[in-house]
C-alpha cells in the first residue's frame, strides 16, 4: 500500500460474512457521528456490502460537516448525509427514525480542562439519542477504558469483569453505557455496547506511534508495556454485524485483536524492518489496559488482518512517508488524563 486510496479500498472491502449478514439486517443504517476517525470507512464498507448483497438499503451519515470535504466524499460513495448538531435538540428531533443506528459520537482528547463538554457528549447526549431512536437496533461505541488496569497474567478483561474506569474520559464513557442501558430496559430497545481498543489505520494508531518512535529514534515509554490492537476494517465489520446481536438487556461486546502485545516486542519488530535500534525509557509495569475479545471472535471469527501484516504495512507506510492524521492515542496514559 502506497496511497490513501489503496489503504481505504482495502479497509472498506466487505467479507462474505458481512455481505451475508447485510441481507439479514432489516432497514436502513444511520451512523451518528460519522465524521470521526472510523466513521467514513465504516459507512463505505456498509455501502459496499449492501451493493454486493444486492439489497435495497441506505447508509445515512450524520455529522456537523463543519469543515473539509467529507460530506461530498461520502455522497460520491453513495452515502446519504445529514448535517446536524446532535446537541441541538431541535435538529436531533428532525433525524429520520431508522431501524438501525450506529452511535459513534463522543469526546476523548481534550477532556482535561474541558471536562464538562466530555460529559455532555458522552453521557447526556446518549439519553437524548436513545429517546429519539427508541425501539431501533443500536450499536453504541464505547471503549476498553471503562475497565481498570489489570495484571498481565489475567489475559485481559472479558465482558464480565468489573468496570472501574480511571479518569473522567473513562468515567463518562461508562456513563454513556449506563444511560443507553437504562433506555434499553425502559423502552425495550435492542442495544450492543461496543467496547473497542485500539483500532489500527496506517495513518494513526498505536502501531504508527511505536513505528514512528523507532524510525525517528526517539525514546519510547514502556510504562504501559502491553497493548491490544485490531485492524480498523475488522473493527468496522464487527460493528456493522453487531446490529444483529443487539438485545434488551444489552449485549456487551469487547472488540480487539486476539494477542496481548508487548510494546518492547513491537518496537523491536519495527526496528528490524526499518533498520533502526529502538530507544526505550522506563520499564514495563505489572499491569495494563487489556481486553479479552474472545466473545467477539466466537461470534464473528478472528480478524482477517493479522498483527504481522499490520506491523509490515505500518513499517512500509512510515518508511515511505505516508500521510498521517495528527490524532495520538495516548495509549501510554495510566491515569486516564486525556
Q: Which grid coordinates belong to 333?
A: 496514559
User: Rounded to an integer, what distance in angstroms lies between the CA atom of residue 307 and that of residue 259?
Assistant: 8
Cross-strand pairs, 138: 101, 191
pLDDT of residue 111: 64
Q: Per residue of the chain (338 residues), what is the pLDDT tens digit? A: 789 999 999 999 999 999 999 999 999 999 999 999 999 999 999 999 999 999 999 999 999 998 789 999 999 999 999 999 999 999 999 999 999 999 999 987 666 778 999 999 999 999 999 999 999 999 999 999 999 999 999 999 999 999 999 989 999 999 999 999 999 999 999 999 999 999 999 999 999 999 999 999 999 999 999 999 999 999 999 999 999 999 999 999 999 999 999 999 999 999 999 999 999 999 999 999 999 999 999 999 999 999 999 999 999 999 999 999 877 787 887 777 76
Cross-strand pairs, 100: 29, 137
Q: Domains in the chain, ordered, with CATH?
A: 4-199+231-257 (3.40.50.720)
Q: Which long-range contacts (CB under 8 A, 24 or more apart) does 301-307 make?
A: 301/17, 302/258, 303/230, 303/231, 303/234, 303/257, 303/258, 304/15, 304/231, 304/233, 304/234, 305/231, 305/233, 305/234, 307/229, 307/257, 307/259, 307/261
Q: Which of 74, 12, 76, 8 has the alpha carbon at shortest distance from 49?
A: 12
What is the dihedral angle through the alpha carbons of 320, 321, 323, 328, rounded to the nearest 10 degrees?
120
**Model pTM greater than 0.85?**
yes
Q: Which grid coordinates belong to 321?
A: 512517508
Per DSSP, the residues of 231-296 read EHHHHHHHHHHGGGG-BSSPEEEEE--S--EEHHHHHHHHHHHHT----EES---SEE--B--HHH
Looking at residue 218, what DSSP letter applies? Answer: -
Amino acid at each position: 500500500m502506497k496511497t490513501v486510496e489503496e489503504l481505504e479500498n482495502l479497509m472498506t472491502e466487505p467479507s462474505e460474512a458481512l455481505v451475508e449478514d447485510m441481507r439479514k439486517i432489516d432497514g436502513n443504517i444511520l451512523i451518528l457521528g460519522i465524521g470521526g476517525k472510523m466513521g467514513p470507512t465504516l459507512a463505505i464498507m456498509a455501502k459496499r456490502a449492501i451493493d454486493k448483497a444486492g439489497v435495497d438499503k441506505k447508509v445515512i451519515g450524520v455529522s456537523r460537516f463543519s469543515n473539509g470535504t467529507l460530506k461530498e466524499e461520502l455522497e460520491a460513495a453513495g452515502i446519504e448525509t445529514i448535517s446536524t448538531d446532535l446537541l441541538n435538540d431541535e435538529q436531533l428531533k428532525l433525524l429520520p427514525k431508522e431501524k438501525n443506528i450506529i452511535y459513534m459520537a463522543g469526546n476523548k482528547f481534550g477532556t482535561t480542562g474541558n471536562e464538562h463538554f466530555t460529559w455532555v457528549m458522552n453521557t447526556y447526549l446518549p439519553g437524548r439519542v436513545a429517546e429519539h431512536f427508541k425501539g431501533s437496533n443500536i450499536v453504541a461505541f464505547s471503549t476498553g477504558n471503562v475497565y481498570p488496569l489489570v495484571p498481565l497474567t489475567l489475559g485481559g478483561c472479558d465482558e464480565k469483569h468489573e468496570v472501574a474506569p480511571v479518569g473522567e474520559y473513562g468515567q463518562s464513557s461508562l456513563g454513556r453505557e449506563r444511560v443507553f442501558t437504562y433506555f434499553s430496559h425502559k423502552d425495550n430497545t435492542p442495544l450492543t455496547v461496543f467496547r473497542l481498543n485500539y483500532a489500527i489505520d496506517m495513518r494513526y494508531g498505536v502501531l504508527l506511534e511505536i513505528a514512528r518512535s523507532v524510525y525517528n529514534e526517539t525514546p519510547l515509554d514502556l510504562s504501559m508495556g502491553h497493548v491490544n490492537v485490531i485492524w480498523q476494517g475488522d473493527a468496522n465489520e464487527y460493528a456493522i454485524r453487531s446490529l444483529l446481536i443487539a438485545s434488551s438487556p444489552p449485549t456487551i461486546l469487547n472488540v480487539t485483536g486476539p494477542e496481548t502485545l508487548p510494546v518492547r516486542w513491537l518496537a523491536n519488530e519495527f526496528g528490524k524492518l526499518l533498520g533502526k535500534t529502538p530507544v526505550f525509557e522506563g520499564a514495563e509495569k505489572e499491569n495494563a489496559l487489556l481486553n479479552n475479545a474472545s466473545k467477539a471472535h466466537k461470534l464473528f471469527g478472528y480478524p482477517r488482518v493479522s498483527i504481522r501484516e499490520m506491523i509490515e504495512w505500518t513499517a512500509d507506510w512510515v518508511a515511505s512517508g505516508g500521510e498521517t492524521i495528527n490524532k495520538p492515542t495516548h495509549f501510554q496514559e495510566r491515569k486516564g488524563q486525556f
